[in-house]
Amino acid sequence: MNTPRHYLQFKDFTREQYDYLFGRVRWIKDKFKRYEPYHPLFDRTLVMIFEKASTRTRLSFEAGMQQLGGSAIYLNTRDSQLGRGEPVEDAAQVISRMSDVVMIRTFEQDIIDRFAANSRVPVINGLTNEYHPCQILADIFTFIEHRGSIQGKTVAWVGDANNMSYTWLQAAEVLDFKVRVSTPPGYGIDPARAGLAGTGHFELFADPMEACRGADLVTTDVWTSMGFEAENDARMKAFADWCVDADMMAAANSGALFMHCLPAHRGEEVTAEVIDGPQSVVWDEAENRLHVQKALMEYLMLGKVES
C-alpha cells in the first residue's frame, strides 16, 4: 500500500505546493463560474466525519465533491459507532477501505493524526482544536484575489489563541508573511504548540490596536470555540476589549481587508460596522472554501494536473 498524501496542518505543504494549488483554484473556480462541467473525480467517494457542528465545511466539501463528479457521505458521532467508543484506528481501517478521501472535523489533533496513520486514502483536516488549514487556504486565496501575493504582507490577529490563529502562524512561516497577534491576558499563544521555528514571522502585542497598526489584513474569530463552551462566561469578560472595531481598522493600512471564518457574533469579536462594512470580504472567504477544497481534493487524489 502506498502512503497517501494527507492535509492535516498548513505546514504539510511547501510554498511550491501552495503556488501550484492556488493556480489550480483559479482554474477550477473560473471553469465553475463559466458553468463548464469538470469531473476529474468521477465515481470517487468522499467520507465526511463530523464530531462538531458545521455549516460551511459540510456544504463546501459535499457540493465540491459532487461538482467534481464524485459523491459524499456524511457521518457524525451521534449516528455512527464513533460516538460509542470504536477505536479511531479501527474506524480508519474500515472507512478508508470504502472510500477515496476522508475529511474529519474533530477535537484533538491527535485523533486526526491517528486516523491518518491508519488510513489507506488521503485525510483532510476539516477543523481540530489546534488547526483549521482549509479555512486559511481559503482566506489566503481570498487575499490573493483582492490584493495579490501575501508574501511580505502583514496580518493582524485580534482575539483568541485558537485553531485559526495557530494556522495563520504556520501559514506565515510557509508563505513568508508577518502576523501581529494580540490576545487577552491568560489566553496567549504558545509558539511551541504550532511547531513554529521562531524565524520572526510573528510578533505579540498586549494592545489590540497596536497589533492592527500597519496591517494589510485584520482578522479575528469567535471568543469561544467549539469544545470550550464551559469557559464562555469567563471569556466574555476577558475578551471584551478585543472586539475589532472601526478604530482598529483605521489603525491598519488604508485598503486593509477584514476577514472572519464565520460564524460571527456581531458586538462580540467584531462590530457590525466592520463585518458588514466595505473592507470586509467574509462572503468571498466563505465561497472560496468551495473552490480551494476542490483543488485540494484533486491534488490529494490525482497529484499535479495541467491547467
Cα 45 from Cα 66, distance rounded (Å): 9
Cα dihedral 282, 127, 231, 85 in deg (nearest 10): 150
132 is catalytic: yes
221 is catalytic: yes
* CB 57, min distance to ligand CP, A: 3
In 252-281, which residue ranges form alpha helices assigned H by DSSP? 272-275
* CB 129, min distance to ligand CP, A: 13
Of 262, 265, 279, 287, the residue at the interface with ligand CP (CB under 6 A) is 262
Q: According to the annotation, is 133 in a ligand binding site?
A: yes
Of 68, 174, 212, 261, the residue at the interface with ligand CP (CB under 6 A) is 261
> Please, how many CA atoms are within 13 Å of residue 244, restricted to the half-sphere of its CB?
38
Secondary structure E strands in the chain: 45-50, 71-76, 101-105, 123-125, 154-158, 178-182, 202-204, 217-220, 257-260
Rule CB under 6 A: say whether 182 interacts with ligand CP.
no
Kindly determine how many residues on this chain lie close enough to bind ligand CP according to the rule CB under 6 A. Answer: 8
Of 100, 221, 268, 298, the residue at the interface with ligand NVA (CB under 6 A) is 221
* CB 225, min distance to ligand NVA, A: 3
Pick from 129, 159, 146, 177: nearest CA to 285: 146
| Active-site residue, selected from the candidate residues 139, 235, 260, 261 | 261
Cα 128 from Cα 41, distance rounded (Å): 26
* Amino acid (one-letter) located at 178: K
**Residues forming beta bridges with residue 280, ordered by sequence position:** 258
Q: According to the annotation, is 180 in a ligand binding site?
A: no
Near ligand NVA by CB under 6 A, which window of 146-154, 157-165, 187-195, 265-273? 157-165
- When the beta carbons of 142 and 163 are compared against ligand NVA, the nearer one is 163
Rule CB under 6 A: say whether 142 interacts with ligand CP.
no
| Active-site residue, selected from the candidate residues 67, 135, 170, 293 | 135
| Active-site residue, selected from the candidate residues 243, 289, 291, 293 | 289
Task: Say if strands 217-220 and 101-105 run parallel, antiparallel, or are unpaired.
Answer: unpaired
Q: According to the annotation, is 54 in a ligand binding site?
A: yes
Rule CB under 6 A: say whether 163 interacts with ligand NVA.
yes
97-127: b or e for each residue (b if 16 or more CB lie within 10 Å)? eebbbbbbbbeebebbbbbbebbbbbbbbbb
Q: Which positions from 37 through 76 interact with ligand CP, judged by CB under 6 A?
A: 54-57
Of 144, 204, 226, 238, the residue at the interface with ligand NVA (CB under 6 A) is 226
| Binding site per annotation, positions | 54-57, 81, 105, 132-135, 163, 221, 225-226, 261-262, 289
List, by residue number, the catalytic residues: 105, 132, 135, 221, 261, 289
The residues of the shown chain that bind ligand NVA, judged by CB under 6 A, are 127, 162-164, 221-222, 225-226, 261
The residues of the shown chain that bind ligand CP, judged by CB under 6 A, are 54-57, 127, 135, 261-262
